Structure 1
Protein backbone atom coordinates (compact mmCIF):
# COMPACT_ATOMS: atom_id res chain seq x y z
CA UNK A 1 0.00 0.00 0.00
CA UNK A 2 1.43 3.38 -0.95
CA UNK A 3 2.17 6.07 1.58
CA UNK A 4 -0.47 8.46 0.20
CA UNK A 5 -3.19 5.83 0.18
CA UNK A 6 -2.40 4.92 3.78
CA UNK A 7 -2.58 8.57 4.84
CA UNK A 8 -5.89 9.04 3.04
CA UNK A 9 -7.37 6.01 4.80
CA UNK A 10 -6.12 7.34 8.14
CA UNK A 11 -7.79 10.70 7.51
CA UNK A 12 -11.07 9.04 6.52
CA UNK A 13 -11.04 6.93 9.70
CA UNK A 14 -10.43 10.04 11.78
CA UNK A 15 -13.34 11.88 10.12
CA UNK A 16 -15.73 8.95 10.66
CA UNK A 17 -14.64 8.56 14.28
CA UNK A 18 -15.42 12.20 15.02
CA UNK A 19 -18.72 12.15 13.13
CA UNK A 20 -19.88 8.96 14.88
CA UNK A 21 -19.43 10.67 18.23
CA UNK A 22 -21.55 13.53 16.98
CA UNK A 23 -24.60 11.41 16.17
CA UNK A 24 -25.04 10.63 19.85
CA UNK A 25 -25.42 14.38 20.41
CA UNK A 26 -27.78 15.18 17.55
CA UNK A 27 -29.72 17.74 19.60
CA UNK A 28 -26.71 20.10 19.40
CA UNK A 29 -25.62 22.17 16.47
CA UNK A 30 -22.28 21.28 14.87
CA UNK A 31 -19.40 23.67 14.22
CA UNK A 32 -17.49 22.41 11.20
CA UNK A 33 -13.93 23.66 10.69
CA UNK A 34 -11.88 23.73 7.51
CA UNK A 35 -8.29 24.91 7.48
CA UNK A 36 -6.45 25.72 4.26
CA UNK A 37 -2.90 26.92 3.88
CA UNK A 38 -3.80 30.60 4.14
CA UNK A 39 -7.34 30.77 5.56
CA UNK A 40 -9.63 29.15 8.10
CA UNK A 41 -13.37 28.60 7.71
CA UNK A 42 -16.03 27.70 10.29
CA UNK A 43 -19.75 27.14 9.98
CA UNK A 44 -22.56 26.18 12.32
CA UNK A 45 -24.69 23.38 10.89
CA UNK A 46 -28.04 21.99 12.00
CA UNK A 47 -27.78 18.27 11.19
CA UNK A 48 -31.50 17.67 11.77
CA UNK A 49 -32.39 19.85 8.79
CA UNK A 50 -29.00 19.67 7.00
CA UNK A 51 -28.77 23.45 6.82
CA UNK A 52 -25.94 25.86 7.49
CA UNK A 53 -27.10 28.43 10.02
CA UNK A 54 -24.03 30.66 10.25
CA UNK A 55 -20.63 30.81 8.64
CA UNK A 56 -17.52 32.93 9.04
CA UNK A 57 -14.00 32.78 7.66
CA UNK A 58 -10.77 34.72 7.64
CA UNK A 59 -11.88 36.13 4.29
CA UNK A 60 -14.70 38.00 6.08
CA UNK A 61 -12.28 39.94 8.30
CA UNK A 62 -11.30 43.50 7.45
CA UNK A 63 -7.76 44.20 6.30
CA UNK A 64 -7.09 45.99 9.60
CA UNK A 65 -8.08 42.87 11.55
CA UNK A 66 -5.94 40.54 9.44
CA UNK A 67 -2.69 41.80 10.94
CA UNK A 68 -0.83 39.21 12.96
CA UNK A 69 -0.05 35.56 12.65
CA UNK A 70 -2.44 32.82 11.55
CA UNK A 71 -3.29 31.77 15.12
CA UNK A 72 -4.46 35.24 16.11
CA UNK A 73 -6.53 35.47 12.93
CA UNK A 74 -8.11 32.08 13.71
CA UNK A 75 -8.95 33.31 17.21
CA UNK A 76 -10.61 36.43 15.74
CA UNK A 77 -12.65 34.22 13.40
CA UNK A 78 -13.79 32.15 16.40
CA UNK A 79 -14.74 35.23 18.40
CA UNK A 80 -16.66 36.71 15.47
CA UNK A 81 -18.57 33.49 14.77
CA UNK A 82 -19.25 33.09 18.49
CA UNK A 83 -20.73 36.58 18.72
CA UNK A 84 -22.99 35.88 15.74
CA UNK A 85 -24.09 32.59 17.33
CA UNK A 86 -24.87 34.18 20.69
CA UNK A 87 -26.96 36.83 18.92
CA UNK A 88 -29.03 34.01 17.39
CA UNK A 89 -29.25 32.35 20.85
CA UNK A 90 -27.03 29.38 19.94
CA UNK A 91 -24.89 28.50 22.96
CA UNK A 92 -24.53 24.71 23.16
CA UNK A 93 -22.68 23.21 20.17
CA UNK A 94 -20.55 20.25 19.10
CA UNK A 95 -17.06 21.10 17.76
CA UNK A 96 -16.33 19.04 14.64
CA UNK A 97 -12.65 19.49 13.84
CA UNK A 98 -12.94 17.08 10.91
CA UNK A 99 -9.60 15.72 9.77
CA UNK A 100 -7.57 18.44 11.47
CA UNK A 101 -5.77 17.89 14.74
CA UNK A 102 -6.87 19.94 17.75
CA UNK A 103 -3.70 22.00 17.70
CA UNK A 104 -2.54 25.40 16.49
CA UNK A 105 -5.10 27.31 14.45
CA UNK A 106 -7.95 24.87 15.16
CA UNK A 107 -7.34 25.19 18.90
CA UNK A 108 -7.14 29.00 18.61
CA UNK A 109 -10.48 29.04 16.79
CA UNK A 110 -12.02 26.90 19.54
CA UNK A 111 -10.62 29.21 22.22
CA UNK A 112 -12.15 32.20 20.44
CA UNK A 113 -15.52 30.45 20.31
CA UNK A 114 -15.35 29.70 24.04
CA UNK A 115 -14.44 33.30 24.86
CA UNK A 116 -17.47 34.47 22.89
CA UNK A 117 -19.73 32.34 25.11
CA UNK A 118 -20.23 29.02 23.31
CA UNK A 119 -20.09 25.76 25.26
CA UNK A 120 -18.70 22.51 23.87
Structure 2
Protein backbone atom coordinates (compact mmCIF):
# COMPACT_ATOMS: atom_id res chain seq x y z
CA UNK A 1 0.00 0.00 0.00
CA UNK A 2 1.14 3.49 -0.68
CA UNK A 3 1.73 5.91 2.14
CA UNK A 4 -1.03 8.20 0.85
CA UNK A 5 -3.63 5.44 1.23
CA UNK A 6 -2.28 4.55 4.69
CA UNK A 7 -2.52 8.19 5.76
CA UNK A 8 -6.14 8.48 4.59
CA UNK A 9 -7.03 5.17 6.27
CA UNK A 10 -5.65 6.36 9.62
CA UNK A 11 -7.63 9.59 9.33
CA UNK A 12 -10.77 7.59 8.40
CA UNK A 13 -10.44 5.43 11.52
CA UNK A 14 -9.96 8.52 13.69
CA UNK A 15 -13.08 10.17 12.24
CA UNK A 16 -15.20 6.99 12.52
CA UNK A 17 -14.44 6.71 16.25
CA UNK A 18 -16.30 9.99 16.76
CA UNK A 19 -18.97 9.87 14.02
CA UNK A 20 -21.79 7.36 13.77
CA UNK A 21 -25.16 7.22 12.10
CA UNK A 22 -28.62 6.11 13.18
CA UNK A 23 -31.93 5.71 11.38
CA UNK A 24 -33.01 9.22 12.45
CA UNK A 25 -29.64 10.87 11.81
CA UNK A 26 -27.61 8.79 9.32
CA UNK A 27 -23.98 9.25 8.39
CA UNK A 28 -23.30 10.83 4.98
CA UNK A 29 -20.20 8.97 3.78
CA UNK A 30 -18.10 10.24 0.85
CA UNK A 31 -15.77 8.19 -1.35
CA UNK A 32 -13.78 9.97 -4.02
CA UNK A 33 -11.92 8.24 -6.83
CA UNK A 34 -9.88 9.98 -9.51
CA UNK A 35 -12.80 10.16 -11.92
CA UNK A 36 -15.99 9.71 -9.86
CA UNK A 37 -17.51 10.46 -6.46
CA UNK A 38 -19.88 8.29 -4.44
CA UNK A 39 -22.01 9.22 -1.41
CA UNK A 40 -24.17 7.13 0.91
CA UNK A 41 -26.51 7.70 3.82
CA UNK A 42 -25.67 4.94 6.29
CA UNK A 43 -27.49 3.72 9.42
CA UNK A 44 -24.57 2.32 11.46
CA UNK A 45 -26.72 0.85 14.24
CA UNK A 46 -28.35 -1.59 11.79
CA UNK A 47 -25.51 -1.61 9.25
CA UNK A 48 -27.77 -0.53 6.39
CA UNK A 49 -27.32 1.91 3.51
CA UNK A 50 -30.47 4.04 3.35
CA UNK A 51 -29.73 5.97 0.15
CA UNK A 52 -26.86 6.44 -2.25
CA UNK A 53 -25.86 8.55 -5.22
CA UNK A 54 -22.85 8.72 -7.50
CA UNK A 55 -21.47 10.60 -10.46
CA UNK A 56 -22.07 7.45 -12.58
CA UNK A 57 -25.88 7.81 -12.53
CA UNK A 58 -27.36 8.35 -15.99
CA UNK A 59 -28.81 11.82 -15.40
CA UNK A 60 -25.51 13.10 -13.94
CA UNK A 61 -23.30 11.48 -16.61
CA UNK A 62 -25.48 13.06 -19.31
CA UNK A 63 -24.46 16.54 -18.16
CA UNK A 64 -21.05 17.44 -19.48
CA UNK A 65 -19.76 19.58 -16.59
CA UNK A 66 -16.48 19.62 -14.61
CA UNK A 67 -15.98 17.20 -11.70
CA UNK A 68 -16.64 19.84 -9.02
CA UNK A 69 -20.03 20.70 -10.51
CA UNK A 70 -20.83 16.98 -10.91
CA UNK A 71 -20.07 16.56 -7.21
CA UNK A 72 -22.58 19.27 -6.39
CA UNK A 73 -25.19 17.46 -8.51
CA UNK A 74 -24.43 14.21 -6.64
CA UNK A 75 -25.00 15.95 -3.29
CA UNK A 76 -28.28 17.39 -4.52
CA UNK A 77 -29.39 13.98 -5.86
CA UNK A 78 -28.70 12.37 -2.48
CA UNK A 79 -30.62 15.15 -0.72
CA UNK A 80 -33.71 14.52 -2.86
CA UNK A 81 -33.52 10.76 -2.14
CA UNK A 82 -33.15 11.51 1.58
CA UNK A 83 -36.10 13.89 1.49
CA UNK A 84 -38.23 11.14 -0.07
CA UNK A 85 -37.27 8.89 2.86
CA UNK A 86 -38.13 11.62 5.37
CA UNK A 87 -34.52 12.29 6.40
CA UNK A 88 -33.65 15.94 7.04
CA UNK A 89 -30.48 15.77 9.18
CA UNK A 90 -27.30 13.74 8.95
CA UNK A 91 -23.68 13.74 10.09
CA UNK A 92 -20.99 14.37 7.47
CA UNK A 93 -18.16 11.83 7.11
CA UNK A 94 -15.53 13.21 4.75
CA UNK A 95 -13.84 9.81 4.61
CA UNK A 96 -10.32 11.02 5.37
CA UNK A 97 -10.29 13.51 2.50
CA UNK A 98 -9.68 17.20 3.02
CA UNK A 99 -12.86 19.29 3.21
CA UNK A 100 -11.99 21.04 -0.02
CA UNK A 101 -12.80 20.79 -3.72
CA UNK A 102 -15.12 17.92 -4.65
CA UNK A 103 -15.82 16.85 -1.05
CA UNK A 104 -16.89 20.40 -0.13
CA UNK A 105 -18.93 20.57 -3.33
CA UNK A 106 -20.89 17.43 -2.33
CA UNK A 107 -21.63 18.98 1.05
CA UNK A 108 -22.78 22.24 -0.56
CA UNK A 109 -25.06 20.38 -2.97
CA UNK A 110 -26.60 18.34 -0.15
CA UNK A 111 -27.17 21.47 1.94
CA UNK A 112 -28.84 23.25 -1.00
CA UNK A 113 -30.99 20.14 -1.48
CA UNK A 114 -32.30 20.45 2.08
CA UNK A 115 -30.07 18.22 4.21
CA UNK A 116 -28.76 19.70 7.47
CA UNK A 117 -25.44 18.77 9.07
TM-score (norm 2): 0.88
The count of residues paired between Structure 1 and Structure 2 equals 115
2:28 aligned partner: 31
Once the two structures are superposed, the pairs formed by residues 50-61 of structure 1 within 5 Å of their partners are 50-61=47-58
SS class of match (2:56): helix
Structure 1 stretch 109-118 or stretch 55-64: which is displaced more?
55-64
2:92 to 84, 90, 95: 95
> Any gaps of 5 or more consecutive residues in structure 1?
none
Is 2:104 aligned against 1:107?
A: yes
Unaligned stretches of 5+ residues in structure 2: none
Q: Find the aligned partners of 1:77 and 1:32 in 2 and give their Cα distance.
A: 12
| SS of match in other structure, 2:49 | strand
Q: Against the structure 1 CA distance between its residues 95 and 70, is the aligned structure 2 distance closer, same or farther, given a 3 Å change threshold?
A: same
- Aligned partners of 1:87 and 1:63: how far apart in 2? 19
